[in-house]
Structure 1
Amino acid sequence: MKTIKTEVAVIGAGTAGMTAYRAATAGGKQAVLIESGPYGTTCARVGCMPSKLLIAAAEAAHAAKAAPAFGVHPGPVRIDGKAVMARVRAERDRFVGFVVEAVDGYPEADKLHGHARFIAENKLQVGDHTVVEAERFVIATGSTPIVPEEWAAAGPRVINSDAVFYWDDLPESIAIAGTGIIGLELGQALHRLGVRVTIFARGESIAQLSDPDVLAVARRALSGELDIRYETKVTTVELDGEQLVVTSTRLDGEQRTERFSHLLSAVGRRPNVHELGLEHTGLKRDHHGIPLFDKYTMQCQDGPIFIAGDADNDRPQLPEAADQGRIAGDNAARYPDVKPGLRRTPLTIAFTEPQIATAGASHEELCASHKGRFAVGKVSFENQGRSRVMLQNQGMLRVYGEFRSGRFLGAEMIGPRAEHIGHLLSWAAQAGLSVAAMLDMPFYHPVVEEGVRTALRDLAHQLANEPKHDDPCVDCTPAP
């Protein structure tokens, strides 16, 4: 076993790790990038890019089926599952290729392949071949989809979301456990591509929404198309020939047994921090085993170890992973002169239809930080002009502003063009704009953004007439 010495060791070559490596070397430090699996980020290989390819195919099929409502009759729609998945895989491989090409451009001496674990505060063992002694470290090991052991015991037809993008063809049916972004995006896409889909939700949550009014509209809108079983958990999964026998139990105790080709576990992801030998670092960790860290410097306690990306379980999204990796790499290079980096205003988008977006502070967060000190404005998209023109008139936008200052705080929505509206609103929140300043901005006609203006006008009215007793947080407490 050989020993090498370096200034910065980056564990993980995903989005956060690659960005940290580039930041550390740009800071003038010698760095090594360590990866145990294939090169190619989660986003490119099994995440945001291949999922959008599947969604794009589903949107094409849905548009053809919805065309008669406009008086356009294209004829029967035939979905070629093998062709759909061939395009998904081919384009996915193209995106992965760009990432691999970038890694190929790094000096060979800077790359190590194998599982890394701490064997001392300043020392890693990589596989069975190399010991790395470093002055500073960046943990960027990503996360892994969770599949409960009792489900996995039923065999390979119980899958996580990664497996979907290696299919050669579309299945006849699938059960999906989880109504987070991944479960909803894949569930709706597969449904629109002709797959029989049932989605199980342990509670009543939808994606990242916390505003009770928006959540209620989202449940109605999505349940109008999809078979979503709220307050229902998957209790047993058994293999029977080429199918799975899935038994589910509702909150009231009612049970139902059904057969599916697959069960997709979309119940969350687990940070990859449990086999890193963190017990040898002296770092304090939370109940999930994640080192305690400063989210503005990405520093773990006050030492030379930094953490970034999905590994820290804080906003697990590609833009956040890139920002965190940059901050961690910068600070690893300049340690001990650690400085806060830019953490942008939160923005989360689900590419369902209607789309779902949260921008800035969420309703739940404001109920904790601004209870009794914020107002709410809203608009329904049911009668919003451009939305009706497109036959996409479903959803609601709720916007939040601070009493006294009039500052815009955030928003939650489900509705048409939410991916674009979410950007506008997150920019406004990061810029610290007031609601009045936002209303001074130009609004064209006819556009969906006119709905934003309607909601902001309602919010401005609420801010100008601060009630003495009305509390927008009365529904914040989770249901029993």
Structure 2
Amino acid sequence: MVETLRCDVAVIGGGTAGISAERAARKNGASTLMIDPEFNGTTCANVGCMPSKLLIAAAKEAHRIGQAGLFGIKVGDMRIDGPAVMRRVRSERDRFARLTRDSIAELPDDVTLRARARFDGPNRLLLDDGRAVEAKSIVIATGSSPALPGPFAELGDRVITSDGVFELEELPRRLAVVGSGAIGLELAQAFARLGVDVALFDKGERMAKIRCPRVHAALRTIIETDMPVHLGVDVSPEADENGVVVRWSGSHSGEAHFDLLLAALGRPPQLDGLDLEKADIELDENGVPLHDRATMRCGESGIFIAGDVASDLPLLHEASHDGAIAGRNAAALPAPIETERHVSFSIVFTDPTTASIGESEADGAVTGHADFSDQGRARVEGRNRGTLTLYAAAPDGRLIGADLVAPAGEHLAHMLAWAIQSGKTASDLLELPFYHPTIEEGLKQALRTICAATPITLPQDQDTGTPPGA
């Protein structure tokens, strides 16, 4: 006879979304079980946000030292110790991962189940240890994994993904990066600035899903100072005795040899082995459960979904928010509570930073632009590259979105995301103080353009603003 465990809410997956869902469900009075085969920490700590930022930090420091001559500072020959760089990345990464595992270990003993789960009905799960779980509600939070299509998988040990790149003990000499989304862009620039001969490839024409052509052009110019960029091409890789031969065709064609290929081709949701056909829920054309983002509920069922597996916005803060919404509503079933979602907000940690926020010009907006090539503070610091586009709704100039590649971009992006979510207009922001000289002053140019295009009076004390270059 199968041993059956019972609870109000069962959560499949012990990553960021799963932890958030379990916590929210228990906080709202539900009995919970969280099921994961490893409980090895989160994607962010193990192979995502934190190790990538450690590599980027090393690259940023190398680049900063290399720019010292701009300020009249002479330094000796800089040598990058690849093994030392990667040792620090792994050491600090392991610390972050240990902290996430420690937080899971602090959960009540009767909450976590180390097993793999699959559906045996809308409210029943079978575990690979022979037991079963029956729950009033179930949250799917199984995350994502790197895509590795056949021709790339055939490269064997000559190909790596973001799940394995931080295990490198030495920096490669020549690296092909295929995929110019957030992961590909960040890692390509970081390796290039650590002295690796990098080339970037993508079959698409836009990097990082930047919507504004002006911002994308600025981003491409910046990235091309570090490496050749091949967009609009199909890549055919082939392993040989010395590494990888990459041939490409499309917008242009060519062939080059690399020691290693980094496949940054996206992270599809992990749904294999869940037996979703037994869950009695509707799936989209990619096999992802259809769900309402306001509740994270799948149709009218007692099944919820959260995090990267939902295939909405694969970002940590979104995964955490998904989990909180799903867990609370799983506990509240059959009376789910709709939640207004945060403004969409993504940052790519290139140098300078790339970001997209909210809605775009395609949604019928008034636009304003800011150029940082002669912005005062940026020029003082020798990082005067990039541009920014703001989108605002007519007729009142209410801010609805932004695309940018700009110095201090992660801070500008946060300010703009908060302003957009708060319903602020361009005029509202111009009435606020801007300290001089700061990067933030660069926003004024774009804000004034929006005010000029809408029937809004420009605040009197901001009409003249800071002179160019001041």
Which TM-score band applies after superposition, normalised by the shorter structure? over 0.9
Contact map agreement 1:17 1:325 (CA 8 A) in 2: yes
State the shift of 1:111 in Å. 1.1
Q: Which residue does the alignment assign to 2:421? A: 430
Q: Which runs of 4+ in 1 moved over 2 A?
A: none
TM-score scaled by structure 2? 0.94
Over residues 26-83 of structure 1, what are the superposed CA-to-partner deviations in whole Å (9 max), with x where a residue is unaligned?
Answer: 1111111011234210000000000000000001111111111111111111111111
Alignment check: 8 A CA contact 1:443 1:450 kept: yes
Residue 94 (structure 2) pairs with residue 96 (structure 1)? no
Distance 1:156 1:31 in 2: 41
Aligned length: 455
Partner amino acid, structure 2, of 1:287? E
1:464: Cα distance to partner?
Answer: 3.2
**One-letter identity of the residue aligned with 1:206:** M
| Contact 1:187–1:199 (8 Å) recurs in 2 | yes
1:475 corresponding residue in structure 2: none
Q: CA deviation at 1:285?
A: 0.7
Match of 1:264? 262
Determine the structure 2 residue equivalent to 1:351: 349
CA distance in 2, matches of 1:96, 1:438: 40
Which has the higher mean CA deviation after the structures are superposed, 256-265 or 442-451? 256-265
**8 A contact 1:174–1:197 mirrored in 2:** yes
Q: Deviations over 1:244-285 (max 9, x none)?
A: 222222335x3x232211111111110112321110011111
Aligned to 2:249: 249
Alpha-carbon offset, residue 238 of structure 1: 2.2
In the TM superposition, what whole-angstrom CA distance separates every residue of 1:164-196 from its partner, at most 9, and x where no partner exists? 111222111210101111101000000111111
The amino acid across from 1:317 in the alignment is: L
Partner-residue secondary structure (3-state), 2:419: helix
- 1:182 matches 2:180: no
Q: Distance in 1 between matches of 2:375 and 2:455?
A: 25
**Is 1:304 aligned with 2:302?**
yes
Question: 125-134 or 412-421, which moves further after superposition?
Answer: 125-134
Q: Distance in 1 between matches of 2:140 and 2:281?
A: 12
User: In the TM superposition, what are the counterparts of 1:431-470 in structure 2 within 5 Å?
Assistant: 431-464=422-455
Counterpart in the other structure of 1:49 = 50
Cross-structure match for 2:221? 220
- The whole-number CA distance in structure 1 between the counterparts of 2:158 and 2:213 is 35
Other-structure match for 1:234:
235
Offset from partner CA, 1:266-323 (integer Å, 9 cap, x none): 1111011232111001111111111110001001001111101001111110000000
In structure 2, the partner of 1:469 is none
Cα shift at 1:208? 2.7
Quote the residue 1:391 is aligned against.
382
Superposed displacement of residue 357, structure 1 = 1.1
> Does the CA contact (< 8 Å) of 2:146 and 2:162 recur in 1?
yes
| Superposition deviation, residue 342 in structure 1 | 4.1
Distance across 1 between alignment mates of 2:428 and 2:366: 17
Measure, in 2, the Cα distance between the counterparts of 1:182 and 1:311. 17
Q: Which residue of 1 aligns with 2:398?
A: 407
Of stretches 218-227 and 417-426 in structure 1, the one that deviates more from structure 2 is 218-227
Return the alpha-carbon distance in structure 2 between the equivalents of residues 168 and 114 of structure 1: 32
Please provide the CA RMSD for this pair: 1.3
CA contact (8 A) 2:181 2:264 kept: yes
Give the drift of 1:239.
2.1
| TM-score, normalised by the number of residues in structure 1 | 0.93
Structure 1 unmatched runs, 5+: 466-480
Matched, 1:382 2:373: yes
Residue identity matched to 1:458: T
Instruction: Show the counterpart of 2:289.
Output: 291
Q: Is the 8 A contact 1:79 1:193 kept in 2?
A: yes
* Cα deviation, residue 16, structure 1: 0.3
* Distance of 2:414 and 2:280 partners within structure 1: 40
- Kept in 2, the 8 Å contact 1:144–1:269? The answer is yes
**Secondary structure in 1 matching 2:64:** helix
Which amino acid in 2 is paired with 1:393? N
- CA offset at residue 459 of structure 1? 1.2
Question: SS at 1:421's partner residue?
Answer: helix
Mapped contact 2:370–2:442 kept (Cα < 8 A): yes
